[in-house]
Structure 1
Amino acid sequence: MTKGALALLIHGGTDNWSPDRWKGRFDAVCRDRRVILLPATGFEPAEIHYAAVWKPVPGELASFPNLKVIFNLGAGVDALMVDRTLPDAPLVRVAVDDLTSRMTEYVVLHVLMHHRQEHYLRDSQRVKRWAPKFQWPASAISVGIMGLGTLGTDAARVLRRIGFQVLGWSRTPRQVDGVACFHGREQIEPFLARTDMLVCLLPLTPDTRGVLNRAVFERLNRTSALGAPVLINAGRGGLQNEADILACLDDGTLGAVSLDVFMQEPLPPDSPFWTHPNVVLTPHNAADTDPDAISRYVAAQIARFEAGGALDNVVDRMRGY
């Protein structure tokens, strides 16, 4: 019996994420299945049973009447959730060890950069200034992570092992050994009050859009060795109020930020984030996961699904993640 085809709909991919390279990867792991890179001709929409997508245009998936599963090739599914024509098929997000490890690397790197005063030290190097400042221990700094899913929990555990005080906040109750866990609206205030560095790894939903704003920044702890709170956002650009971030940097409400995501990507050349002295920015590559691992993950999920097994990491469409 002919197996249902897999359609690839990939927009905005470059270099290692280019559509042609994705096609080669899926051809390699789905040898007994037709893989169709869209737009394409010479196929019937009814033969498409699976779709692996990255930022598809709203309406693109609606033309496949026999679609059984949609696989999103990244962790965030917000681009899909705005498509009101999205077929009523299970939507699966990527959750592979490689993605988790890379996000933890990013979070730990940026926490340590701010903790170890790398801005000051690199400035000192440029002007040949030998003037070390007092360096406080990791145990003097509290790192609060908003979002205790797979990514947030792994980052929290590694930061705890390094010696930081680690707090976590999530929508629903979570337990992580060695981490002070808070949840729900009623516990956001005490979480923020104890946080020196705020790391955001929340999904983007109607409830979280714009959550990183002045009202939140003003509630962060202001008595730490850092001098002023630090923000690290590696979640989604829609989580942050960018005008508030810049204003809070300028008036001292925030001391520094690391941003991997932005409301508009690529970041426009005239954005003040490029040149602000207290901003570290990266081009949305915090967890730029190995596509080989993702293609193997999707192929394994399809094989298990066709054998009668359950899909992993299915998105709850009501919650948006």
Structure 2
Amino acid sequence: MKITFCCTDTKAEPWLQGLAAALPGADVSMWQPGAPQADYAVVWAPPQQFMDEQAGVKALFNIGAGVDALLQLRLPPDALVVRLDDAGMAVQMAEYVCHAVIRHFREFDGYEADTKAGRWGYRKPRLRSDFPIGVMGLGVLGERVARALAQFEFPINGWSRSPKAIDGVRAFAGAEQFHSFLAASRVLVNLLPLTPETANVMNQDTLGRLLPGGYVINVARGAHLVDGDLLALLASGHVAGATLDVFRTEPLPADHAFWGHPRIILTPHTSARTLREESIAQIVGKIGALARGEPIAGIVNAGRGY
């Protein structure tokens, strides 16, 4: 069995060592142009040349949660595209989103400003019932986030392309219920996959349908958000603030209006990082199942984009 590794901006050696240790006897190597044909590939943002040269690969294991960059390439015709089911990312995402929601709800940014200015003051407690949270996208990560937020007794709304039933979550599904979902939410958490249908989904119209004083948390992809529309809604007061972890261009350009905005919190695409050991164990398990002819979870439907 030959496994090739082609992951942009990723230190290869620990992955190669981990895969080799977990698959004794396998030929594990980093891809170079002209390399021999592999049976399986572990990838992140590979070049088109890789796809063209590895036309016979059986499966491409994507080490990040999103597969949008991969699906923009011409893929080997018979290769399965396999995403990680979780590999430690769901709990990280739940931590991040819960922190962002609670920081806003409890007005900790205001208390932080007060203490820096030497002021000792209180704010009137807010009611959780006034802060319904809408989780947009209820896959593995979205469901974990929705369940975590429900533990803090906020009203939780969830929207997905097809109906989902999650305890403690008011479910909305399909295009016909999308506007109702937005209108029932004050905080919007985006966990959608990026597809042609979801690009620019957070825009003047959709964000304008949130309850007044809305709050936006984007942890999916920068191309989901129309930057100028968010800035306009912040200026109007309809949106009170935002926590953004992903951006159309990364790193965020130095002259971007998000830098230094008093009501936007920025983080450098770090809401949920790939955990190498857990990812390797999952990939190895799936390679074994495929070799035995068994079904595996996480196969991407290229037509849907996830």
TM range (shorter): over 0.9
The correspondence of residues 237-276 of structure 1 with structure 2, limited to 5 A, is 237-276=222-261
In the alignment, the residues of structure 2 paired with residue 237 and residue 87 of structure 1 have an alpha-carbon distance, to the nearest angstrom, of 29
Contact 1:71 1:93 in 2 (8 A): yes
CA distance in 2 between counterparts of 1:65 and 1:52 reads 14
Which residue identity is paired with 2:236? D
Please tell me whether the aligned partners of residues 57 and 76 of structure 2 are also in contact (alpha carbons under 8 angstroms): no
Deviation at 1:289, TM superposition (A): 2.4
1:37 aligns with 2:16: no
Deviations 1:99-158, CA, capped at 9 Å, x for gaps: 111111111111111111111011111111111111214343100000011111111111
- What's the counterpart of residue 12 of structure 1? 9
SS at match of 2:151: helix
- One-letter amino acid of the structure 2 residue matched with residue 113 of structure 1: R
Structure 1: runs of 5+ lacking an equivalent? 223-227
Structure 1 segment 272-287 matched on structure 2, within 5 A: 272-287=257-272
Measured in 1, the distance between the counterparts of 2:12 and 2:252 equals 22
TM-score by length of 1: 0.92
Residue 257 of structure 2 aligns with an amino acid whose one-letter code is P
CA deviation after TM superposition for structure 1 residue 97, in Å: 4.9
**What are the residue-to-residue correspondences of 1:1-321 with 2, within 5 Å?**
4-13=1-10, 18-39=11-32, 43-45=35-37, 48-222=38-212, 228-321=213-306
CA distance in 2, matches of 1:208, 1:89: 25
Preserved contact between residue 218 and residue 245 of structure 2 (Cα < 8 Å): yes
**What's the secondary structure of 1:130's corresponding residue?**
coil
C-alpha separation in 2, matches of 1:55 and 1:90: 16
Identify which range, 160-169 or 246-255, moves more after superposition.
Answer: 246-255
1:24 CA drift (Å): 2.5
Secondary structure (helix, strand or coil) at the match of 1:95 reads coil
Q: How far apart, CA to CA, are the structure 2 residues paired with 1:135 and 1:23?
A: 52
Provide structure 2 residue ranges, at least 5 long, that are not aligned to the other structure: none
Contact 1:80 1:86 in 2 (8 A): no
Distance 1:87 1:250 in 2: 48
Alpha-carbon distance change, 246 to 20 in structure 1, aligned in 2, over 3 angstroms = farther
Aligned length, in residue pairs: 306
Task: Kindly indicate whether the alpha-carbon contact (under 8 Å) linking 1:59 and 1:83 is maintained by their aligned counterparts in 2.
Answer: no
Deviations 1:63-116 (A, max 9, x none): 124311110001100001111244431110011251111111111111111111
Amino acid at match of 1:272: A
Question: Percent identity between the aligned chains?
Answer: 35
For residues 176 and 5 of structure 1, what CA distance do their matches in structure 2 show? 41
CA deviations over 1:184-237 (Å, ceiling 9, x no partner): 111011111110100000000000001011111110011xxxxx1000000111
- Would you say the 8 A contact 2:87–2:279 is kept in 1? no
CA contact (8 A) 1:67 1:87 kept: no
CA distance in structure 2 between the aligned counterparts of 1:190 and 1:141, rounded to whole angstroms: 16
Partner of 1:225: none
Does the Cα contact within 8 Å between 1:258 and 1:280 map onto a contact in 2? yes
1: CA distance, partners of 2:47 / 2:55: 17
- Measure the CA separation in 1 of the matches of 2:204 and 2:15: 40
DSSP-derived class of the 2:268 partner: coil
